[in-house]
Structure 1
Amino acid sequence: MNIAIAGGSGLIGSALTEHLTKQGHTVYILTRDATNKPVKEKVHYVEWLHDKATPEKELQGVKAIINLAGESIGSGRWTEERKQAILNSRIESTRAVIDLIKQLTPTLRVLVNASAIGYYGHSTSKTFSEDSEPVDDSFLTKVVNSWETEAAKARDFGVRVAFCRLGIVLDKKEGALPKMLLPYKLFAGGNLGTGEQWMSWVHMDDVVRLFSLAIENSAIIGPLNVTAPNPVQMKEFGQTLASILNRPHWFPTPTFLLKVVLGEMSTLVLDGQKVLPKKSADFDYTFQYATLEPALTDTLKGKN
């Protein structure tokens, strides 16, 4: 299958490209500048988002688009300007994807749009599945809702749409995990805030396989939680991390200090939600990493 990826050079996009090409698919990575890109078998770079770009000509025959494009939520303090950039980057890139879809139908079959479990809001007591409604109107909830609303417009052109609502993706080089690792490497790890907040995590191997499932299974429509079936509270996550690294877990970081240092972005570590992948269970998906200890061990000590 020919598959286009917007945001294909990022953490998840790179892993997806490797996975999909190993499965025999051909991947077209949408980029502003296709010059000086690495040569890889079954990988092509297609320019978009500038006046001279004509991606619709190069993407004829593409059956699926994966949209991962958007500013990172975890880099930089959440000023009002930064928050607007986080929202705008997702809306504008998704609108560009919809414009592209208009020109690729009826060949195009599915849009798999990245999303986030931030959709559900925060709770220490509730459990969320794909059927759950948001419990608050936090910044991330608003961003995800707006993002999914924009992506859903692909349905107007007869395209199936799936929203892959990502939890905390485990990667030792990028994302949230490296920030959590640092205190433990300095022998100063411990609970962040109360430690009672839930962490719905997922191993990268399951991320790419669940995105593949969303592409290939025509019955998957709407939200798909990309989280492992066994979320943990932050204190258990920290204790597991300390055990694997052979480091102590005894220096808690108070809530007020995190709020002072991180501002509103502190919600990423102080608040959480217990999210279960109900829909993947309905489709008999078997997780490569269903529990935390082997997932963290592989992430930290594996070959990658």
Structure 2
Amino acid sequence: MNLLITGGTGFIGRALSKHFSSLEHHVYILTRRAVISHQSQYIHYVQWLTDRRSPLHQLPPIDVVINLAGAPIYDERWTESKKKEILKSRLHATKALIHLLENMPKKPFLLISASSVGYYGASRTQMFTEESSFDGSEFLADVSYRWEKEAMRAEQLGIRTVLARFGLVLDANDGVLPKLLLPYRYFIGGTIGSGKQWVSWIHIDDLVRLIDFIIKHPYLEGPINVTAPSPVKMKEFGQTIGKVMKRPHWLIFPAFILKLIFGEISELFIKGQKVMPKKALTASFVYQYPSLEEALKSLLN
């Protein structure tokens, strides 16, 4: 099988590339970088989004496309310019990808395009599934909506399209988890905000396995929540980190202090949403790490 990945040099892209190349599938990663030194037998880097060349003539017939491209969300404060970059980078890359698909003589059978559970907006009381409606009152909800709308144009090309709405992806070395672990390493861990806000998370290995599962099950399409079946409240999330790391969980980090330090991005941890992966569970996907404690023990040990 030939897979095409945008955003393949990010931590989710790297995990997917490692998985599929280990199964001897060929993975073609679209990148802006002109030269990538670590080409391998099954991982190939192809330059795109430049004025000099189109990747089309460098690609074989592609079976599956995974669209992850976009500026990082957690790396810095959300200034107005940063927010424009987050949105523009996703729309620009997805538009370019759709254009590429339009020009492929043989179309892929599947496009999996990343999105976010931020699509649903925040709530402490409501539970969200793929059937829940869009809440456009927040920045990430608007980004997710517009990103998904652009990706859904692939359906007009006869391509099965999945909108993978990622929760908080837990990885030992990348993403937001190392930042959350840092206070506990210095024995100053504690509850963020009220502690009553929900955290919808997934272990990176289960994310990879669910993407593989989606590829193999052609009846899965449209939005799919890529989260574990056991969201937890922020207080429990922190307590579980402390338990696994054998560190105290005793401080409180009030919301106003977080906003003062991190700005608008702090709302990702202050508000939260309870998201259930209804489609994955209905399709009988089996999670390797269904509980947070199991997931953290796997990552930290």
Shorter-chain TM-score tier: over 0.9
Aligned-partner Cα distance in 2 for 1:275–1:29: 30
- 1:223 positional shift: 0.6
Aligned to 1:270: 270
Aligned-partner Cα distance in 2 for 1:37–1:225: 35
Asked if the contact 1:170/1:201 (under 8 Å) is kept, the reply is: yes
- 1:215 positional shift: 2.2
Aligned-partner Cα distance in 2 for 1:123–1:82: 25
Matches within 5 A, 1:55-94: 55-94=55-94
Aligned to 1:184: 184
Aligned to 1:19: 19
- 1:216 positional shift: 2.5
> In structure 1, what residue type is equivalent to 2:137?
D
What's the TM-score once normalised by structure 1's chain length? Answer: 0.96
Asked if the contact 1:77/1:262 (under 8 Å) is kept, the reply is: yes
Asked if the contact 2:116/2:167 (under 8 Å) is kept, the reply is: yes
Aligned-partner Cα distance in 1 for 2:41–2:176: 31
Matches within 5 A, 1:113-192: 113-192=113-192
- 1:4 positional shift: 0.5
Asked if the contact 2:134/2:145 (under 8 Å) is kept, the reply is: no
Number of residue equivalences: 301
Asked if the contact 1:172/1:300 (under 8 Å) is kept, the reply is: yes
Deviations 1:49-92 (A, max 9, x none): 11222211122311111000001111111111110110000000
Deviations 1:240-272 (A, max 9, x none): 100111111001101111111111111111010
What is the SS of the residue equivalent to 2:27?
strand
Asked if the contact 1:7/1:70 (under 8 Å) is kept, the reply is: yes
Aligned-partner Cα distance in 1 for 2:218–2:237: 35
Q: Structure 1: which 5+ residue stretches go unaligned?
A: none
- 1:276 positional shift: 0.5
Aligned-partner Cα distance in 2 for 1:105–1:238: 51
Where do 4+ consecutive residues of structure 1 move more than 6 Å?
none
Identity of aligned residues (%): 46
- 1:47 positional shift: 1.1
What is the SS of the residue equivalent to 2:253?
coil
Aligned-partner Cα distance in 1 for 2:37–2:165: 29
Aligned to 2:237: 237
Deviations 1:269-297 (A, max 9, x none): 10100000000111110001101101011
- 1:191 positional shift: 0.3
Residue range with higher mean Cα deviation, 215-224 or 186-195 = 215-224
> In structure 1, what residue type is equivalent to 2:245?
L
Aligned-partner Cα distance in 2 for 1:255–1:47: 43
- 1:40 positional shift: 2.0
Aligned to 1:280: 280
Residue range with higher mean Cα deviation, 166-175 or 123-132 = 166-175
Aligned to 1:205: 205
Residue range with higher mean Cα deviation, 203-212 or 27-36 = 27-36
> In structure 1, what residue type is equivalent to 2:95?
R
Q: Structure 2: which 5+ residue stretches go unaligned?
A: none
> In structure 2, what residue type is equivalent to 1:249?
H
Aligned-partner Cα distance in 1 for 2:291–2:191: 20
- 1:37 positional shift: 2.3
Aligned-partner Cα distance in 1 for 2:143–2:105: 27
Asked if the contact 1:122/1:136 (under 8 Å) is kept, the reply is: no
Aligned to 1:30: 30
> In structure 1, what residue type is equivalent to 2:254?
P
- 1:21 positional shift: 1.3
Deviations 1:86-109 (A, max 9, x none): 000000000010011011153321
Asked if the contact 1:196/1:233 (under 8 Å) is kept, the reply is: yes
- 1:202 positional shift: 0.2
> In structure 1, what residue type is equivalent to 2:87?
L
Asked if the contact 1:195/1:233 (under 8 Å) is kept, the reply is: yes
What is the SS of the residue equivalent to 2:165?
strand
Aligned-partner Cα distance in 1 for 2:186–2:22: 38
What's the TM-score once normalised by structure 2's chain length? Answer: 0.97
Aligned to 1:228: 228
Asked if the contact 1:60/1:104 (under 8 Å) is kept, the reply is: no
Asked if the contact 1:230/1:292 (under 8 Å) is kept, the reply is: yes
Residue range with higher mean Cα deviation, 39-48 or 7-16 = 39-48
Aligned-partner Cα distance in 2 for 1:189–1:102: 50
Aligned-partner Cα distance in 1 for 2:104–2:111: 12
What is the SS of the residue equivalent to 2:251?
coil
> In structure 1, what residue type is equivalent to 2:196?
E
Asked if the contact 1:189/1:251 (under 8 Å) is kept, the reply is: yes
